Structure 1
């Protein structure tokens, strides 16, 4: 081997060692960076004219376990979706309260029962009648407030859907551009690993909103689809649409066309509003808006209907005629079985017993339609109202015979049970996500291994430098001859 060949080999070895040190240092510095794929440098023996010519530096390889990443992304979607559901049901539970909890709807019904008993003991007491009126107002106000809160939660869910659709569209456009950049880098001989890291992070963001599968395409590009088969990106990113509603009432649903669903190219994606995009936070937000909160409102309306019907019975208050509103009313009217939706938001105390509205407290004792005060010691109506409230009867929404407080408590318990169900699913999803995240991290950068590699690189660099030093000595000797 000539001195010039030896010099060339040593120089190529030093260059390769320098490039490897650069790759290793990148691995170590990004050992805690999300989305970073460990790099290695391809080296091969260089051959020129059938003779060894040092080392040839090849491409940089990016190492990730795409199977684990795919499963982790699905776990991301599930985890994020159940977090949304648990959070929402927790807020609903705060609004309606828990059975036996002070301030809950069932406890306010119990308060009315207690006030009726107190008033029946001394029906001549204006203080006790006033307390009964206050307890009734507290009960109806709590139902009104709960309805308003639930509809506000639906507005929040609707706004969240709009925000997520915007983020989804932006992220898909970013992946489309990164696909082009990766292809361009490969064609230019530039390492695209950094672009692929960035693309992985953007896809991870998408995976929280909508579960995705990543498919390879030519030129280092990828396509994205949902597990259900909806294509999000394949060359060109799809653009989804959604129109948010600033105000939502109890009667507004997808079916009534009062609420918007997701559109694609201006056309509805599906009848349920979300189609094959469910599974992540986007699907959870639709479930919150169109299922869970609607169910909660139905439960409130059933409680309100039960209360109104108990006091609207002419056998309880003989002063009433059939079809007339009783002690509790639907927005000033009698109960209408065809107008049940949103009833809890309209329920109120009959103006005939409210002095602030021109009524008289004595009508609590004498009857809604009493024109003049009756005997002050007559507790018949108060006892009848108390019995009606505590009597186990069936309702239109629930054929099981229950007292008013028990029916409200069952509704509160069902709300809490749904939250617990979602929490159980969340716990499972979290455990699965944690396991997959650990498996993904295990395949990432091992700093101990990288430092060992750095020592080997240092040794290789020193050896090549020693070759150069030896060649320099030989050249000096030749120059001295």
Structure 2
């Protein structure tokens, strides 16, 4: 090897180690940054025999796709579980002490106690108090349910805004990646940012990824709607500010296609939007229907009959229309409107003993015509009516023939089954996400130990080059001494 070629070799080593050191230093600086993909400084030989350094990004597209999918699934599941937990908490948590079912059981017990001693005014007052508790439970749970729908609608609006902003930035970054790739530039930092945006988008709506020439990325929603192709597609949503049982929220549209609600406790939706739609438009309305049907069943069970055949009117429980709702037909919002009849409330000037005697709606409805203090027929009929099967609407997603007590209990079972399934699914999807994240990180994240080891290798190369330069210097000095 000539002295000139030796110097060229040393110079090449210095240049390569400088580039390698720069890449390794950047990697070390991003240790722990989950949105940074590790770079490799790879030394290659050119066709002319020279060595050069090429930067390679540890891209793992298959793992990135899996990461986006698991992120979307976990986001959807956790969002659904949060909504179900809100409804469960409205019933009093695990013991369900604030549920209509619990207060109905108390009402049944107080009626039975009153039937055993029908002359006791205090027992009649206890029945009224327990009836008020039932009404308050239905009223309050309805408020919570509709508040959940209102809050969910607000979250949908915020996330649609966020999604549109993410897509707008995604276009800028994707365009830069395509341009840099086509012209041979370094797009690594922009690729990192695009991957980060993809993961953020996946939390809101599940996506599938398609790659085109020059690293151009195309996004579709998990059910096939185009989300981004050169340009972001329009994501639109009109917010509804106030909810009650008669209000239906607006759909979210992506490129003119409505976002589909997830299905089941182990939701098949991907991304938080699918679960928010499921909560607002499926779960909360169904639960509200169950509450409305409990209220209707109560009015029906405690209705008063005209002894002269003039028809039935609400008794212990009533609502503003003052009529008995149609059997088996949902009356939207009834659970928010039901109240204890003022005629039996002592705080409203009423008489609790009318529960024993009848006559809440006037003299024509009195059953205890003799005024007997031991009259129990009407009280016992109420106890029987609470336990008697009656027809309920199939819209409640429960058995259509059941007693009011059973129906209220089944409502809790329906909610808790959904929540249990959602909890189990959330644990599984969280575990899947963590495993996917760990696998992805093991291939793309920076390992400080590996980088320090490579830095030592680069240092040895640098020392070898320095030694080579030193040797050439000594040889040149020896030659010059010989000339003298």
Return the TM-score normalized by structure 1.
0.88
5 Å-filtered alignment, 1:297-308, equals 297-308=288-299
**In 2 relative to 1, CA 34–193 (structure 1 residues): closer, same or farther, beyond 3 Å?**
same
CA contact (8 A) 2:299 2:316 kept: yes
Who is 1:256 aligned against? none
CA contact (8 A) 1:99 1:107 kept: no
| Residue-by-residue CA offset, 1:251-283 (whole Å, 9 max, x unaligned) | 222xxxxx2112357xx5239689xx9521110
Helix, strand or coil at the partner of 2:258: coil
Who is 2:53 aligned against? 57
Structure 1 residues not aligned, in runs of 5+:
254-258
Residue 286 of structure 1 pairs with residue 299 of structure 2: no
**Match of residue 76, structure 1, among 56, 64, 71:** 71
Who is 1:380 aligned against? 377
Tell me the CA shift for residue 6 of structure 1.
2.6
5 Å-filtered alignment, 1:38-437, equals 38-46=38-46, 52=49, 54-58=50-54, 60-97=55-92, 101-186=96-181, 190-253=185-248, 259-264=249-254, 268-270=256-258, 278-312=269-303, 314=305, 318=307, 321-337=310-326, 340-367=331-358, 368-371=360-363, 374-397=371-394, 402-437=402-437
Tell me the CA shift for residue 97 of structure 1.
4.7
**In 2 relative to 1, CA 2–400 (structure 1 residues): closer, same or farther, beyond 3 Å?**
closer
Helix, strand or coil at the partner of 1:443: helix
CA contact (8 A) 1:150 1:293 kept: yes
| Residue-by-residue CA offset, 1:157-203 (whole Å, 9 max, x unaligned) | 11111111111111111111111222444466542212211111111
Structure 2 residues not aligned, in runs of 5+:
263-267
**In 2 relative to 1, CA 243–389 (structure 1 residues): closer, same or farther, beyond 3 Å?**
same
CA contact (8 A) 1:168 1:209 kept: yes
Tell me the CA shift for residue 220 of structure 1.
3.0
Tell me the CA shift for residue 379 of structure 1.
3.1
**Matches of 1:188 and 1:396 in 2, distance apart?**
66
CA contact (8 A) 2:316 2:340 kept: yes
**Matches of 2:401 and 2:285 in 1, distance apart?**
24
Identify which range, 188-197 or 68-77, moves more after superposition. 188-197
Tell me the CA shift for residue 75 of structure 1.
1.1
**In 2 relative to 1, CA 408–251 (structure 1 residues): closer, same or farther, beyond 3 Å?**
same
Helix, strand or coil at the partner of 2:43: strand
